[in-house]
Amino acid sequence: MNRTRLLLLMAYRPATALAADRAPAKLKLDLERRGKCREIPVSFLTGEDVASYISQQFPRNTFPEVLPQIVYQRTEGNALFMTEMLRYLRDHRVLVEQGGIWSCTQPPSEIRQLIPVGIRSMIRLKVQKTGEEDRMILLTAAVQGLQFDSAVVARVLSRDPAEVEERLQALDAEHDFVRAVGEREFSDGTLSVRYRFIHLFYQHALYKSLVPSRRAGLCLETARCLAGLTGAGAREIASDLAVLFEAGRDMANASEHFLRAARNAARLFAYAEAAALCERGLKALAWLAESRERNCQELRFSLIRGLALMATRGYAAPEVEKTYTRSRELCLLVEERRRLVPVLWGLHTCYINRSDLPSALAVAREMVRTTEDSAEPIARVEALHALGTTFLFMGRLREGRETLERIFEGYPVGDHVLQPSIYVMDPCVTSLSLLARALAYSGLLDQALEKAEISIELAQRLVHPPSLTYALFWRGYIRHTREENAQCCGDLEATIGMGRKHDLPLFLEWARIVRGSALGRMGRAEEAITELRGSLDRQNDMKSLLDRPYHLTLLAEALVARGALDEAQALCDEALEFAARTECRCYEPETHRIKGEALLATGEDSLLPAVAAEFASALRLARRAGCRLLELSAAKSIFRLHRRRGDISRGRTLLRRVLRQFTEGGESSLLRGARRLLEE
């Protein structure tokens, strides 16, 4: 027998099996003294493990992509809970098989709330084994959340803190309900032990076991105690306090803390979270009696909700207009003139991105009137930015450029600081970026790039990702006008990456449009067209129509390069009709030129008069707007037309005259290409 070698595998729960007076503990100690024992901790499953298990158990399925993530989050990688949850979903026909394919019959939001019956029963039996005193401690702890504080539990129950800590230690060591995760000192000097339930299901099951009136009372008392203990630090846990006050039916405090939480989220650019917090705060606010203070509070919520919806749904989304329209009503109702400018900015942004330029112009002019006597310089910046931007997109280049330049005549950009939780983007950054665009179209190509660089530097100094994303896009745009396509793509790919990271879908789509055009000019026609079409469709879904004639024209240009001439002409006609209907005329000269190029590419001499007419319209409109950039494009096309007709001298004369107007940007690819054309 002494020669027989045995391998003993033993699975146990440390909290129960290794108590000092139990046989497994004695056996473990004896084997460790002999050097014959090795402990192998069993780790929890990872998210990838859970996904792999689901794919093995349900090999052919059409489950939502988030199902493995939900199962992992609900079970926290506990293998027993995972298998029990999947069994529960299958037994209750949430997961069903038909024709050899598994599908899900409930939305993910419903699955997130489920606690399998078997797990509930196990937890209930375990709780019943504790004494009444310990059960009350656990129920109170569950109200605070998955993690809780011994000091909060003690205050809510009016118990001695040391006694509560001792009972929690026992619940940890003897019953495996909770784990100590650390200690902390509250702002008033109170010491507390921080605990965490052993699993999310324990906290949920205990919380749900409370009858409604007891739950509301405990939530309210927990909120009050936690707010008292944290003092000024309550702002950092505003979301937790808001939920507790809400559950405790104290709607005044709930709305105040939801507002603080929404502001916190907006400062961190967590706009989806900010919007959701505003929704809950407004619902809490609706329970309060009508008053001026309630209207002021609703206005505060509306401002944050508006910018959050802009960032997550798109600037032209219907709910954005609805939110800012209500904000405007509230400003007038409570006579809050100071907040009117951010509200008007929101409405202007919505209108201009919807390409409702007449409405945008009316709001911009109202902003200028409103800020004439304002003591806040930044309000004047935003008003002039709105007016100048509107002029630019309407094709009124000179007025737009002059208005934007007025911003920086007296405003100290070097001293500029970020205005948190008011704008999605910083108004100085956006003004510099749009001024860069105006300078590029005016033919001042180097100054345009310089302003774009300053805009990026300012956004970096402000440490504001949305503004930096915006500024990067416009530098890419300026490089596109200079025909520096590789550098342009670099900026726009960075914009796309930041747009995804910070949940800024509209900037991402703008970048895709211009990048698609740059790819087309680099000879990657198919990739370009796919990118352009995809982005146009996505912007349609977002109701964002800003600069649509420009986007349609870029797609038409790519289609001409591929030889899809009929579709290119149809897109140009659509762009021209849209420009006439909305007054979005900034790119109208180029649309005429691309239409002429599509006609010219047919090779039919009978269409040459129509080609000449389109090119002439492009030249005339560009000159009338003072748009040297598009005037040069028209002159280059006219040069090629005359060359085809055998009268190259007339085209050369025109092109040379237009080129002389450019006093800078000589090293840009655009002007180098134009000079090469003259030399032909």
pLDDT of 353 > 80? The answer is yes
Q: How many Å apart are CA 448 and CA 450, to the nearest integer?
A: 5
pLDDT band at 8 (very low <50, low <70, confident <90, very high): confident
In this structure, the answer to whether residues 149 and 223 fall within a common structural domain is: yes
Task: Specify the range with the lowest mean pLDDT, choosing from 418-427, 479-488, 645-654.
Answer: 418-427
In a domain, 96, yes or no: yes
In this structure, the answer to whether residues 173 and 211 fall within a common structural domain is: yes
Which structural domain, as residue segments, surrounds residue 183? 119-249
Query: What CATH number should be reported for the domain holding residue 156?
Result: 1.10.10
In this structure, the answer to whether residues 189 and 133 fall within a common structural domain is: yes
pLDDT of 20 > 60? The answer is no
pLDDT band at 310 (very low <50, low <70, confident <90, very high): confident
In this structure, the answer to whether residues 185 and 219 fall within a common structural domain is: yes
In this structure, the answer to whether residues 55 and 86 fall within a common structural domain is: yes
Domain closes at, from 206, 227, 249: 249
Domain closes at, from 98, 114, 130: 114
Between strands 178-185 and 191-197, the pairing is antiparallel
Task: Specify the range with the lowest mean pLDDT, choosing from 40-44, 288-292, 296-300.
Answer: 40-44
pLDDT band at 283 (very low <50, low <70, confident <90, very high): very high
Q: How many Å apart are CA 13 and CA 10, to the nearest integer?
A: 10
Q: How many Å apart are CA 594 and CA 611, to the nearest integer?
A: 10
pLDDT digits (tens, 9 = 90+) for 205-246: 899 899 999 999 999 999 999 999 998 888 889 999 999 999
* 136-139-142 Cα angle (round to 5): 150
pLDDT of 359 > 70? The answer is yes
Cβ–Cβ under 8 Å, residues 454 and 339: no
Cβ–Cβ under 8 Å, residues 615 and 593: yes
Per the structure block, which two tokens stand in for 144? Answer: 């605070």
Across 215-241, b (16+ Cβ under 10 Å) vs e yields bbebbbbbbbbbbebbeeebeebbbbb
Average pLDDT (381-386) is 92
What pLDDT does residue 14 have?
Answer: 60
Average pLDDT (463-470) is 92
In a domain, 649, yes or no: no
pLDDT of 116 > 90? The answer is no
pLDDT digits (tens, 9 = 90+) for 390-442: 999 999 999 999 999 999 987 888 888 877 556 678 889 999 999 999 999 99
Average pLDDT (490-509) is 93
What pLDDT does residue 632 have?
Answer: 97
Domain closes at, from 230, 249, 268: 249
In this structure, the answer to whether residues 61 and 75 fall within a common structural domain is: yes
Q: Which of 549, 537, 545 is nearest to 575 (CA)?
A: 549
pLDDT of 177 > 90? The answer is no
Average pLDDT (651-658) is 93
pLDDT of 18 > 70? The answer is no
- CB atoms closer than 10 angstroms to residue 368: 15
In a domain, 89, yes or no: yes
In a domain, 74, yes or no: yes
In this structure, the answer to whether residues 193 and 157 fall within a common structural domain is: yes
In a domain, 216, yes or no: yes
What pLDDT does residue 646 have?
Answer: 83
In a domain, 308, yes or no: no
Q: CB-based burial of residue 557 (10 Å sphere; 0-12 exposed, 13-18 middle, 19+ buried)?
A: buried
In this structure, the answer to whether residues 203 and 227 fall within a common structural domain is: yes
Average pLDDT (462-468) is 91
Between strands 147-149 and 178-185, the pairing is unpaired
Calculate the average pLDDT of the chain. Answer: 90
In this structure, the answer to whether residues 142 and 210 fall within a common structural domain is: yes
The 3-state secondary structure of 46-79 reads: CHHHHHHHHHHHCCCECCCCCHHHHHHHHHCCCH
In this structure, the answer to whether residues 196 and 126 fall within a common structural domain is: yes
Select the more confidently predicted residue: 254 or 231.
254
| pTM of the predicted model as reported, rounded to 2 decimal places | 0.72
Give the 3-state secondary structure of residue 362: helix
How many structural domains are present in the chain? Answer: 2
What pLDDT does residue 1 have?
Answer: 47
In a domain, 239, yes or no: yes
What pLDDT does residue 27 have?
Answer: 76
In this structure, the answer to whether residues 196 and 168 fall within a common structural domain is: yes
In this structure, the answer to whether residues 92 and 126 fall within a common structural domain is: no
- CB atoms closer than 10 angstroms to residue 513: 24
pLDDT band at 187 (very low <50, low <70, confident <90, very high): confident
Cβ–Cβ under 8 Å, residues 654 and 637: no
Average pLDDT (74-82) is 84
pLDDT digits (tens, 9 = 90+) for 88-98: 899 889 899 98
In a domain, 547, yes or no: no
Per the structure block, which two tokens stand in for 564? Answer: 């899809």
pLDDT of 23 > 80? The answer is no
Cβ–Cβ under 8 Å, residues 471 and 460: no
What pLDDT does residue 15 have?
Answer: 55
Q: How many Å apart are CA 54 and CA 267, to the nearest integer?
A: 38
Q: CB-based burial of residue 7 (10 Å sphere; 0-12 exposed, 13-18 middle, 19+ buried)?
A: exposed
pLDDT band at 201 (very low <50, low <70, confident <90, very high): confident
414-418 contacts, C-beta under 8 A, 24 or more apart:
416/378, 416/458, 416/462, 417/462, 418/462, 418/463, 418/464
pLDDT band at 19 (very low <50, low <70, confident <90, very high): low
Q: How many Å apart are CA 340 and CA 422, to the nearest integer?
A: 12
